[in-house]
A and B are shown apart, each in its own frame.
Chain A
Amino acid sequence: METLAALAHGFAVALTPMNLLWSALGVTVGTAIGVLPGIGPALTVALLLPITYDLDPTAAFIMFGGIYYGAMYGGSTTAILLNTPGESGSIVTAIDGHEMARQGRGAQALAIAAIGSFVAGTIATLALTFVAPALVKLALLFGPAEYFALMVLALTTVTAVLGDSLVRGLASLFFGLALGLVGIDLQTGQARFTLGIPELLDGIDTVVVAVGLFAIGETLYNAARFRFETEEIYALEGSIWMSREDWARSWKPWLRGTLLGFPIGALPAGGSEIPTFLSYLVEKRLAKKPEEFGKGAIEAVAGPEAANNASVAGTLAPLLSLGLPTSATAAIMLAAFQQYGLQPGPLLFDSNPELVWGMIASLYIGNLLLLILNLPMAGVWVKLLAIPRPWLYGGILVFATLGAYTLNNNVVDLVILWLIGVLGFAMRVLDVPIAPCVVGLILGPLAEQQFRRALAISQGDPSVFLTHPLSLTLLIVAALLVAGPVILRRRARRAEREAAAA
């Protein structure tokens, strides 16, 4: 009941004309960047940080939430019509969605994706409404040792689960952690790793790193691959209305996708890729005609699209209630909280209820707006795909440098942006995932703080992390996540060798 009252208050905040406008702006921008290849929600929120500095935090977060939701809707359009996933969460959608477009059923595929996103988004936002306050109660039991253990768990899951090479994920994570070390040590005032450059005393800005990796690195990579790749855009064909059979085949995958997406997004497991892959596999297993998969199966669009939208709401639960980002976009949103001097967690629910609940309420509204934006207006978004690539990437670079420069009006930021961009390019070429680096950069300094606080309380005794039951459990889970796959792979390889020898 308490929660419902809080939510009602949130709606009162979200329904003021100005906040409605911010929500509408957020979902529109979100859909646009979701449709455009080369830019995603993490980059967009990062670029908006300097501009929203003077904005009321509630308005800013209503907009950011809209962008995050909108990007998942828009990503499916690109996946279906262009076969280039606009977002990493739409990789799976591209498989059968693009096949549907090839068969002239593109409009139907878009409708299935949009309605599925709406169903999943609404259910998952409802789940967020009730899960977030419950997580807050849990967070009250946490001391520094538990927070540190939780952050270690989040860092390892983001790393272990993304990409297919654990070592590469760890390399990316530790690179991010190393970047996070730069600057003045908050507890002692000691300057660390600044190389004598005064601009580095404040640390390397999250915005510069995120924009460098996501905009500059991506653009360099796309420039390098542009000559070798061909794009075929399919026109929006077919009826937008779903037949009775389409509905019958879609509703169960939508619900199952939601069921997978929300908890996996919320349990620190790294964003929207995993639930979409799982949803695809589940649907294939359950389908009456599994042979259709890969050839334009409706279930293969409906399930993953529901899963990626639900996972976004799931990601917001630990972000708001524990201050724990589980995806790159959530990590940038945490940086946004820091910019406003706010610390997500139990305190935020007490001190800024209008922000937290206003944002959650705005997600219900944004979701409805997105259905309207994406169903009847799908054709408008498709036009964005026609922007010639030279101008699209030229524009991305102009706005990326604009965002980095205006942080401090300093060319040094542009130099760092370029360096990080070149590193991001190298990471893309060498197949090193980028998200662990961003999450590491933001969580690293927070983890160090909790780590030292815990040790200060225990007077330097490092066993605190192991004697607190909650902390111990979290650390064991983290260790299993790193060691488990390695051991399993070893065992599989040994079995293979034995089989070969026999």
Chain B
Amino acid sequence: MSKMIDISGLTKKYSGKKVVDGLDLQVEEGELFGFLGPNGAGKTTTIRILTTLTKPTAGKVLINGIDVAKDPSKVKSEFGIVQQHLSLNRDLTIAENLELHARLHHLPSSERKRRISELLDYVELTDHADYLIDNISGGMKRRAMIARALLHRPKLLFLDEPTVGLDAQTRRRVWDLIRRMNSDGTTVFLTTHYIEEAEALCERAGILHHGHLIAVDAPLSLRRKLGMIAVEIQDNGNGTQYRYFSDRAAASEFVQMLPGNDKVVMRESNLEDVFVEFTGQKVLGD
């Protein structure tokens, strides 16, 4: 397998402060990779560098073997991106947004129409093709952005918080869509705040903290490192303590040693536990 993304020593400074700090990361072709990190860890900056919107201070990024800083215009045909914020042109309909993208990516006019209706069908928006962006729901906007990103058949797809603000049903639909794109051969680079999203989707996840990766592995292996079983001890009013154990036997043994007045929950650990332990801070609920 060849490398779709190859980042080495990537650094980005904003007014003296290192937002990305010597980042090294490789993503293989065909992989579904999750890029996690607390707010301000440097995820969006990294994605902006990978997608030619920001210039790195130091380091090197190769996308499908092409140097992003040296050959930005060539690299632009290799990837598609669904940005965190809505970046559709709100003066246009869904179909017109797609057509603009198709034109900008030089799809021949004979192919344009066919490809657009193909993609609209793929994200189930055919009936809404002629709706203006302001007149469709958040989930539809998200799907329209995914359709747009896939239009020029990119080998690599960046998804920056693709399900933020979506309801549970829509989120699962988008998940299915992501899995389908990946099984159709697209390499997917996903950033998300919802750790369970990465756990559900990704073969491998990296945790970014203060601008560099502190862990990269399959979600299951990361959990094994921490312990497959979590014990939560809620001591009244003083918050919650977490302990991790390799198996249930070890966890039960620990629980039996505890004084009886604490509320104790024993459960399987998850990627969010890994995330919180590794980054030393809570992301959700604080």
* Chain B associates with chain A: no
